[in-house]
Chains A and B, each alone.
Chain A
Amino acid sequence: MTSDPYLRVDSVWKSFDEHPVLRGISLEVLPHTATVLIGASGSGKSTLLRCINGLETVDSGSITIDGDLDVTAFNTDLDAVRRRVGIVFQSYNLFPHMKVIENIILGPTKVLKKSKSEATSFGLELLTRFGLESKAVDYPDRLSGGQAQRVAIVRALAMKPDIMLFDEITSALDPMLVGEVLDAVRELRAGGLTIVMATHEMNFAREIADNVCFLKDGIVWEQGNPGVLFGSASRPETQAFLSRVV
């Protein structure tokens, strides 16, 4: 591959109350690829994703999007970053006082200044793509966890982001409902969207990842394509982690 990375994380440090979470982590994500972050809880996966779309400020290092947009610079318009970087959280975080379709068109109408009808028709198109068209006028409390999480994905997609970050989006779900959410990610992967995903679903990681990164102690301890990393990890810590979770 010869293309430049879409996302470049360079020596990022981040600590909370003197407790270091990221310790000089570096990572490159090529366009139209899926990068999967694995590692124990507390290894820094979520924090890294939040830093990438500016929800957390870094202590040092830099994060660059599309070669020119520096997320970590002081004068960066973070709202501009977030228009290009979508994120979906473990706990859905749908807006409970709005119907599904209202959740979806809020960003496009208020941030991208699209007309309500344009945003609604694109929103319905996305809902249909993920089998949720019948839920458009329901309130979030009428949805199952799997449906709510897919709506959260649609809400992020409605902003037409260049890259999507998934932060353990199946961890809060009933095991029965994990499949439908992973199907949605599969569909996005097939469509060529650039994806960075933190997950504990190792089989899924093996299936969709172009690059798997094992995070430990706030750095990328080891990375490689899934065949290599899951088959013959070279470092003992990676082997130990994988033997526990696979």
Chain B
Amino acid sequence: MNTPAPGANVVYQDPLRQEQSRKKARRDALIGMVSLIGFVVVIVFLVTRSSGWSAVQNTFFNGDQFVESFPTLLEAFWLNVRIFLIAEPLILLIGLLVALARTLRNPIFLPLRVVATLYVDVFRGVPTILVIFLLGFGMPALQLQGVPSDAIFWGTAALVLSYGAYVAEVFRAGIGSVHPSQTMAARSLGLSSFQTKRYVVLPQAIRNVMPPLLNDFISLQKDTALVAVLGPIEVLRRAQIDTSSNFNYTPYVGAALIFIALTIPMTRFADWMQRRSAKKRQAGGVTA
């Protein structure tokens, strides 16, 4: 017998049990695969045999149309990417500043607190597309000197204002998630209220809200398409033009695929972050 002595500092598993559990895992994987393939076959069979399928295929999944429009869609998508890359850092900055302003307790900061609260209330309460209409058509109409009249500028500004309000609430929730005993410990060391936020509360708050922040990133990637209503030729607008010139909806499907190609990896990443932080909180719960 080569079973280790009881209490030995090793990891020991019965080889027979290991073999059994490996077998079970293999069998479970096989059953899952077969079941999934069967399901897909049935669905494909039913869909392609239905009477309207050839019309659907021709209108939405037309290979020629796809090949023709996809490169122009990709090119137009570059504008969405640029809007996103410019908006996101500004959103994070505004969100963080607004969230911090709302936590200030000193009476001298009352105006800041009021403005921050109003901002969140207003921009969270108004549909994003309405903000885009208001700023995108309204601001250029003022014809003020020094105020840009560019649709992309105002579309991006509207996204920043709208998402800034959401992200501010995410940050505020994160700040609230840090236990008050952390603040007490920092203050008891003589750290000022500002130092306590800067070194103790915020780093933990930001770590706690990474998953919901990523979700808002994903949303924003999609909502860059809303800027289309102002006229700039980004991917949705491009698809719309291609669609109406050929009376075929394949470009819309192409645009959808482009968005999905970007958002699915982000979603998986957000899920992974969420699981990791849940695990971390479990492991470090007692000492923290």
Contacts and interface: CB of A to CB of B under 8 A. Distances in A.
Given A91-B181, A141-B288, A148-B287, A156 B200 contact: no
Nearest to B183: A93
A97 to B, nearest CB: 5
A80 B181 CA distance: 20
A95 B287 contact: no
A107 B196 CA distance: 10
Given A89-B181, A95-B182, A110-B195, A79 B190 contact: yes
B188 interface: yes
Contacts of A155: 189
Contact of B284 (A86, A96, A112, A145): A96
Given A93-B184, A97-B204, A97-B207, A107 B287 contact: no
A140 B148 CA distance: 52
A107 B189 CA distance: 6
Given A96-B288, A141-B288, A106 B189 contact: yes
Contacts of B199: 106, 110
A21 interface: no
Query: In the complex, which of the residues B182, B187, B188, B288 has the most CB atoms of chain A within 10 Å of its own CB atom?
Result: B188
Contacts of B182: 93, 95
Interface in A63-95: 78-80, 82-83, 86-87, 89, 91-95
Interface residues of A, number: 31
Given A95-B182, A97-B207, A82 B188 contact: yes
Interface SS of chain B: helix
Contacts of A83: 190
Contacts of A190: none
Nearest to A143: B287
Given A93-B181, A93-B182, A93-B184, A111 B189 contact: yes
Interface in B102-126: none
Contacts of A139: 284
A82 to B, nearest CB: 4
A86 B190 CA distance: 9
Contacts of A89: 181, 184-185
Contacts of A92: 287
B189 A159 contact: yes
A135 to B, nearest CB: 12
B283 interface: yes
Contacts of B287: 92, 94, 96, 140-141, 143, 145, 148
B188 to A, nearest CB: 5
Interface in B165-214: 181-182, 184-192, 195, 199-200, 203-204, 207
Contacts of A159: 189-190
Given A95-B182, A96-B284, A148-B287, A87 B191 contact: no
A230 B192 CA distance: 42
Contacts of B283: 141
B44 interface: no
Query: Which of B191, B284, B287: most chain A Cβ within 10 A?
Result: B287
Interface in B240-288: 283-284, 286-288
B288 A140 contact: yes
Interface string A135-170: 000011101010010000001100100000000000
Nearest to B207: A97
Contacts of B185: 89, 93-95
Contacts of B288: 94, 96, 140-141
Contacts of A97: 203-204, 207
Contacts of B181: 89, 91, 93
A53 interface: yes
Contact of A107 (B191, B204, B207, B284): B191
16 contacts: A55-B184, A79-B192, A82-B187, A92-B287, A93-B184, A95-B182, A95-B185, A106-B189, A106-B200, A111-B190, A111-B195, A112-B190, A140-B284, A140-B288, A141-B288, A159-B190
Interface of B: 181-182, 184-192, 195, 199-200, 203-204, 207, 283-284, 286-288
Given A55-B187, A87-B188, A95-B185, 13 more contacts: A55-B188, A78-B187, A79-B190, A79-B192, A89-B181, A92-B287, A93-B184, A96-B284, A110-B199, A111-B190, A139-B284, A156-B188, A156-B189
Interface of A: 53, 55, 78-80, 82-83, 86-87, 89, 91-97, 106-107, 110-112, 139-141, 143, 145, 148, 155-156, 159
